[in-house]
Amino acid sequence: MNTERKEKLLSMLCLGKAESMEFLEAIDENAIGQTVCGFLNSSGGYIIVGVSKTFEVLAHSPEQDFLSLEQAIKLKVVPQAMFSFETQILEENKLVLVIEVPSGKDFPYSYNGRFFVREKDQTLPAPVDT
């Protein structure tokens, strides 16, 4: 893991050292929705879309419809919850999507009929007893 690159990226995003982070290379509605659900069922966090596992900024097209993605995910999260989508332009004018998810207040949350939790740096299906 390139710690220096990660610190630089978090600094560019003005997030400082955030423990609850998920980096996704590409737009994947299910991966984003499951991670949102996991963060809601834990202490919250940030999802940064457009960044590789080695923390290289990959970027997205400015024409991508992030609003419809946000609405589609909000429809599948039950009960309703607040989380925000925001785009930021980083190095070399590369656009990334930053999703801020606070800790939920109305547990448990599901995404598309399934429950997810965060364990360390992973989003996992919630165990039945949870």
pLDDT in tens, 47-88: 999 988 888 888 777 777 888 999 999 999 999 999 999 988
Give the confidence band of 16 by pLDDT, cuts at 50, 70, 90. Answer: low
Beta-carbon-side half-sphere exposure of residue 125 (alpha carbons within 13 Å): 5
pTM for this prediction = 0.89
**What percent of the chain shows pLDDT beyond 90?**
53
Of 79, 62, 81, 58, the closest CA to residue 70 belongs to: 81
**What does each C-alpha distance from 111 to 5, 26, 62, 87, 128 come to in angstroms?**
32, 19, 27, 23, 15
